[in-house]
Amino acid sequence: MRVCDSNFPFDSAQLTTYHRAPMSETVIPSQIEPDKWADRAAIVEAELPLKQFVRLLDGAHSDVGTVAVNLRFSRDARRFARMQGTLTTQVSLTCQRCLEPVDIAVAAEVDVYLLAREQDCDRLDEEEDFVVYGEGRCLVHDIIEDELILALPLVPRHDVCAPHIMAALAEQPEADVVVEKRENPFDVLADLKKQLH
Ligand SMILES: [Zn+2]
């Protein structure tokens, strides 16, 4: 279960925007009223800047890019607000095999109920995902970010790492041995003897 932070100050300007908004959205307010969005079957098709997703970018090499958001809101038979859709983006992470940057395509399927009251979750089936929000407003941006983070691979890595980097990593232990030999005083002595003969 996740709970939306509802402590964000109320912005009356947003409410005005909401009342004028068409059914299809290309921007997402910082907070939405899920019941109203569900009642008007709102559809969101937006490209959000990747740099807005600070938690998703933890450890990433770049914040350049966008998150493609396709969401639709609806009421189900139980009158619960439901948000479904897809989120796609690309994040530059560190390959855990060669330690070089790797572009990871992230795609998340979203199907979540937005519940005004925690006790409503008793009426959901066990496999149904939900978020409880407070004060009549929900931070959709945070839900989007959570879903993207959950869709990240546990171990990011290239399908095939760059051959020259793998070769350099493989040679590393041998290089250490060579350095040790050179520093061995007996070898230095042997070399001197050879030069004298
Ligand atoms: Zn790699």
Q: What is the Cα–Cα distance from 86 to 69, expressed in whole angstroms?
A: 6
Centre a 10 Å sphere on the Cβ of residue 88 and count the other Cβ atoms it contains: 15
Q: Say yes or no: 125 and 180 in one domain.
A: no
Q: Say yes or no: 23 and 56 in one domain.
A: yes
Into how many domains does the chain fold? 2
Q: What is the mean pLDDT of residues 69-78?
A: 94
Q: What is the mean pLDDT of residues 17-36?
A: 71
Q: Say yes or no: 104 and 192 in one domain.
A: no
Give me 32's structure tokens: 């939405």
Taking the centre of ligand 1 as the mean of its atom positions, its distance from the CA of residue 81, in whole angstroms, is 42
Q: Say yes or no: 18 and 114 in one domain.
A: yes
128's CB contacts (< 8 A; 6+ apart) are 113
Q: Say yes or no: 173 and 80 in one domain.
A: no
For residues 15 and 171, the model is more confident at: 171
Q: Say yes or no: 127 and 92 in one domain.
A: yes
Taking the centre of ligand 1 as the mean of its atom positions, its distance from the CA of residue 95, in whole angstroms, is 5
pLDDT of residue 41: 94
Taking the centre of ligand 1 as the mean of its atom positions, its distance from the CA of residue 105, in whole angstroms, is 15
Q: Say yes or no: 88 and 183 in one domain.
A: no
Domain assignment present for residue 156? The answer is no
Whether residue 95 contacts residue 77, with contact meaning beta carbons closer than 8 Å, is answered with: no
Q: What is the pLDDT of residues 44-58, one digit of tens each?
A: 999 999 999 999 999
Q: Say yes or no: 101 and 21 in one domain.
A: yes
Domain assignment present for residue 138? The answer is yes
Q: What is the Cα–Cα distance from 158 to 97, expressed in whole angstroms?
A: 8
Taking the centre of ligand 1 as the mean of its atom positions, its distance from the CA of residue 165, in whole angstroms, is 8
Whether residue 121 contacts residue 140, with contact meaning beta carbons closer than 8 Å, is answered with: no
pTM for the full predicted model: 0.72
Q: Say yes or no: 58 and 98 in one domain.
A: yes
Q: Say yes or no: 171 and 120 in one domain.
A: no
Domain assignment present for residue 158? The answer is no
Q: Say yes or no: 55 and 97 in one domain.
A: yes
Taking the centre of ligand 1 as the mean of its atom positions, its distance from the CA of residue 98, in whole angstroms, is 4
For residues 1 and 71, the model is more confident at: 71
Domain assignment present for residue 29? The answer is yes
For residues 142 and 23, the model is more confident at: 142
Taking the centre of ligand 1 as the mean of its atom positions, its distance from the CA of residue 167, in whole angstroms, is 12
Taking the centre of ligand 1 as the mean of its atom positions, its distance from the CA of residue 52, in whole angstroms, is 27
Q: What is the Cα–Cα distance from 83 to 73, expressed in whole angstroms?
A: 5
Taking the centre of ligand 1 as the mean of its atom positions, its distance from the CA of residue 59, in whole angstroms, is 16
Q: Say yes or no: 140 and 172 in one domain.
A: no
Q: What is the DSSP letter of 81?
A: E
Domain, as residue range, for 101 = 2-150
Calculate the average pLDDT of the chain.
Answer: 82
Domain assignment present for residue 183? The answer is yes
Lowest-pLDDT range, 48-62, 71-85, 93-107, 158-172? Answer: 158-172
Whether residue 64 contacts residue 170, with contact meaning beta carbons closer than 8 Å, is answered with: no
Taking the centre of ligand 1 as the mean of its atom positions, its distance from the CA of residue 164, in whole angstroms, is 11
Q: What is the Cα–Cα distance from 20 to 131, expressed in whole angstroms?
A: 27
